[in-house]
Amino acid sequence: MPDPQAMAAAWMNQFSDPAAWQAVFKTPALEASPVAAMFTDASAMLKPEKLEALRDDYLQKAAALWQDFLASKTPVLEDRRFSSPEWAANPMSAFSAASYLLNAEFLTTMANAVEAPPKEQQKIRFAVQQMVDAMSPANFLATNPEAQQKLIETKGESLTKGLSNMLADLQKGRISLSDESAFEVGRNVATTAGQVVFENELFQLIQYTPVTPTVHQVPLLMVPPCINKFYILDLQPENSVVRYAVEQGNTVFLVSWSNPDESLKGTTWDDYIEHGAIKAIEVTRAISGAEKINAFGFCVGGTIVSTALAVLAARGEQPAASLTLLTTLLDFADTGVLDVFIDEQQVSQREKALSKGGLMPGRDLATTFSALRPNDLVWNYVQSNYLKGNEPPPFDLLYWNSDSTNLPGPMFCWYLRNTYLENSLKQAGKLTVAGEKVDLASIKAPVFIYGSKEDHIVPWNAAYASMHLLNPGNAKANRFVLGASGHIAGVINPASKKKRSYWTNDAKAKGVTAADAWMAGASEHVGSWWPEWSAFLADHGGKSVKAPAKAGNAKFKPIEAAPGRYVKVRAD
């Protein structure tokens, strides 16, 4: 029998070898990174004393694991990927999983110990984590006892079905996350009643039908992200933000962005501001007859509507009675895990390919976001759909997640460089958009800002940073609410469900640790944050007036029923 310590040492030494680390850097996020050159020499990776400490710790744990195996002691697997009883029932599978977890711990610790600039170290950690997640024995039929057991129980049918699922997904170019046949836009998602009252090449504007006899005089204009379909805000009646807003007595207008094709390949960020958000504000005011609106933006939709309001402010207009921003970045100093995809070389490559015209395919964007959570959005479905031959269950949120949207190349490149790479939007007067110098502080409206505590796309403290960019002369009018969960699930938390929790703090902390100071004094509340937002809208909604009897007006007549045509166009 081989010496277990020698086996462990051999495995560990291969990842102390520069050649092994060169393979790690063959990823889009890292291949062009200047720090990759550091790893051609093992001595540049870690200080000798750190490497020696890692070596000793690993060898001790590996030897202990081997001794437990020889003594027929089943290892404890504290990882949900190995929580099914089949893993513990089979000693070889349990040992395989335990060995993997030990090796993963070593690689992760080694990556964390590398001395490199913060941005480069984040890229290293990300690439290593991608490799670690891919190496899981749960991802392969030969080492997954759950899949093997099902293969036996179904007499091979699960393997046949799994291969069929895989071939179908290869044709689609993406992994199926949900039973897509269970949903249809306009039939059982995006069903809130309304009319399209305006359209141009960039968007349709939907006016929703009121359900209360009176409404707030100030209408609500919702600007969702153009990187996704709007119906994340209008999934099904029980979890629809749109329906909730209508039920709270708001006259709701919503921007439904087009899914760009070749005809829009030259569209710019300025176009999205001038002919998108600003036009939507203009039409909303014209139809409602209101001087001001309650503006709303979700994710990049918040970045767009804030920029639009700053452009209008430069023109002497202040159309917003209030501004709501959900999981939105205006200060891009902390962009979370997405930062691994943003550096000068990667942005320049995109600009070279797309800045003069072209499309950023929706499938590429979807792949990027899936890579941020590979176990949840990739490997989990590889195991279930392909190895076990299961059909994914119907889930409205994951159906939406697979409904990708293209972006025009020039618009996408401008956004990458000026926000994510150079963080210029927060600097007053640095950017010129639609012919105007942009100063976010010029927007004279109270702001409701929401962040999600576990958001990996817009870290909640980055969302909090907008508190001091907007309305600085009247910061007391601003309100920040922190919700539980992540970028999407935290937002889609219906009041009726009374799930999760949220935090509030009326004190307005300042300085570089402002978000932490805010959190230290915050109070936790059980349930949804939606009622807090509804109360904010009511405070800025003006008097109650009779609900409009019909959508549109003489100039802007209804075109078609909600959700309209644009949202039904698929990128694939």
Catalytic residues: 299
In 52-118, the DSSP E strands lie at none
Q: What is the CA radius of gyration of the chain?
A: 26
Q: Where are the alpha helices (DSSP H) in 360-465?
A: 362-372, 374, 380-381, 396-401, 409-415, 460-464
CA distance 458 to 464: 10
Q: Enumerate the β-bridge partners of residue 28.
A: none
Instruction: Name the nearest CA neighbour of 163 among 182, 141, 143, 178.
Output: 141
Both structure tokens of 484? 């539980």
Calculate ∠ Cα 287-293-296, nearest 5°: 115
Q: Strand, helix or coil at 502? A: strand
Q: Where are the alpha helices (DSSP H) in 380-529?
A: 380-381, 396-401, 409-415, 460-464, 514-520
Q: Strands 203-208, 214-216: parallel, antiparallel or unpaired by DSSP?
A: unpaired
The gap from C-alpha 359 to its chain's centroid, in whole angstroms, comes to 20
Q: For residue 179, count other CB atoms closer than 10 A to its CB.
A: 14
Instruction: Name the nearest CA neighbour of 45 among 72, 18, 82.
Output: 18
The gap from C-alpha 80 to its chain's centroid, in whole angstroms, comes to 23
Both structure tokens of 371? 């890579």
Determine contact, residues 332/463, Cβ cutoff 8 Å.
no
- From residue 156, alpha-carbon distances to 152, 166, 381 in Å are 6, 16, 19
CA distance 358 to 394: 34
The gap from C-alpha 335 to its chain's centroid, in whole angstroms, comes to 11
- The CA-to-CA distance between both ends of the chain, in Å, stands at 54
Q: For residue 51, count other CB atoms closer than 10 A to its CB.
A: 17
CA distance 375 to 80: 11
